[in-house]
Structure 1
Amino acid sequence: MSSTLFVQAFVTLLVIFDPLAAIPVFLTLTRSQTPVVRRRTARTSVLVAAGIVSLFAVAGNRLLDALGISLQALQVAGGVLLALIALDLLKADCARDRANAASGAVAFVPLGTPLLAGPGAIAATMLYIEQAGDGPAVAAVALALAAALLVTWLTLRFSPLIERLLKDNGLNLMTRIMGLLAAAIAVQLIAGALQHWVTWGVS
């Protein structure tokens, strides 16, 4: 059960982080940086994303309880946000559209958040933590988050090499595939919440 949850959480989070789509943004915002500083920016942006997502994973449920928001409402909201992300990814040019002027704090904004630690990643992590329940399952979700962040960091770390290997057409193709997967996950999230409401009613 924990291994299945790990795979599900890892694939979902990796699709949401979508490091390949982040490559053009990362390269644009770090164009004036030296290779050493660019590597530091990649590391810092992933650490910022890890901190934000982990914070909501630990304290997010308390916040939901305080606001009177159900898990299913969060599930639908996360599905809608993920569907919007999927539509952007399917356009294949969204990464360049999101690129803006570089600043000294690009590792924090917009790279760390909202590009990596956006609403979709936060909502998905909270949902998996809530569904996990016991210790081993929670550990599987935490490991999946760490693995997805590791892949994201490696992708940004070697983004110049990946861009040269895949070229624009390859990056666009991979981005569209990620968009299709994101759309499917979004539909599954919303369908699961609707099924719960039909069976048990809206709480």
Structure 2
Amino acid sequence: MNTEIITILLAFMVLMQPFSALTLFLDFTKGYSNKNRRKFAWICTLSVVITIIFFTVLGNLLLKLLGISLGAFQVAGGILVFIIGLNMMNGDGNPVKPDQEEVDVEHVQEVVPSMVSAVMPMAFPMIIGPGGVSTVVIYASRVNSNAELIQIILAGFLVGLICFVSLMAAHPISRFLGEEGLSITNRIMGMLLAAVAVEIFFNGLRQFMPSLFG
């Protein structure tokens, strides 16, 4: 596999963390048949992939329409991602994603007895939130050829595949890791995410204020 795809895939996985949504998935699908649980996971996964593709293809255009320079967006995105990583290392979770306790699962299932909750809040913002969208746009902004664009989209599909598999294996994964295992995993991901954020920040600063780097 191309090393660039692996780099993008790891960045997406560290930021989106489908494992962090396993408990919420179990709550939403409590009492569901295997068929409906699979359908819920499929709709959630498809929503994540579509979001990645949308911002990969149109993210840079949106920045231009809003008059935001790439450097400024990278600096802001780097700060946002670093704050997320710092909170994760401290065990506080992702500050721009809702806590699972804040999501009224019973109310959502009562009012919308369909698969709407698979899109929101499961896919967005639980799995791919503002930090994930920012990262997709930043990687897409570096694209210089169709081949590089395809690499990001392919990484998005791979994230989707991992997301679907992890959701379908939610019960055994949750039992295996437990609360402590999920907490440790979250802190390690936070450290990796902070490192990604620093790189994003300085790349943006280099474009936004090139005089600082000679």
**Which bracket does the TM-score occupy, shorter chain normalised?**
0.7 to 0.9
Q: Which residue of 2 aligns with 1:117?
A: 128
1:163 Cα deviation from its structure 2 partner: 0.8
Instruction: Please point out which of 96, 99, 102 is paired with 1:97.
Output: 99
Candidates 137, 147, 159, aligned match of 1:136: 147
CA distance in 2, matches of 1:200, 1:6: 31
Aligned with residue 174 of structure 2, among 145, 148, 163: 163
Q: In the alignment, what sits opposite 2:53?
A: 54
State the partner residue of 2:2.
3
TM-score, normalised to structure 2, is 0.84
CA distance, structure 2, for counterparts of residue 98 and residue 84 of structure 1? 19
Per-residue displacement from partner, 1:126-179 (whole Å, max 9, x unpaired)?
A: 221221211222221111111122111111111111111112211111111111
In the alignment, is the contact (CA less than 8 A) between 1:46 and 1:116 conserved in 2? Answer: no
Matches within 5 A, 1:18-57: 18-57=17-56
Q: How much has 1:91 moved relative to structure 2?
A: 4.1
What TM-score, normalized to structure 1? 0.88
Of residues 154, 169, 192, the one that matches 2:203 is 192
What is the correspondence of 1:140-155 to structure 2 with a 5 Å cutoff?
140-155=151-166
What letter is aligned with 2:178? K
Task: Give CA deviations for 1:67-95 in whole Å, capped at 9, x if unaligned.
Answer: 11111122122222222322342244638
Q: How many residues in Structure 1 have an aligned counterpart in Structure 2?
A: 200
Deviation string, structure 1 residues 108-140 (Cα, Å, up to 9, x no partner): 111111112211221211221221211222221
Q: Give percent identity, aligned residues only.
A: 29
- CA 1:153 to 1:132, structure 2 compared with 1: closer, same or farther past 3 Å? same
The answer as to whether partners of 1:89 and 1:178 remain within 8 angstroms in 2 is yes
Take 2:36 and 2:80, find their aligned partners in 1: how far apart are those partners?
32
Paired residues of 1:20 and 1:174 also in contact (CA < 8 A): no
Distance 2:33 2:85 in 1: 32
Structure 1 vs Structure 2 CA RMSD: 2.2
**Structure 2 stretches lacking a partner, 5+ long:** none
| Distance (whole Å) between structure 2 residues aligned to residue 98 and residue 180 of structure 1 | 22
Gaps of 5+ in 1: none
3-state SS of 2:2 partner: helix
Deviation at 1:35, TM superposition (A): 3.3
**Partner of residue 79, structure 2:** 80
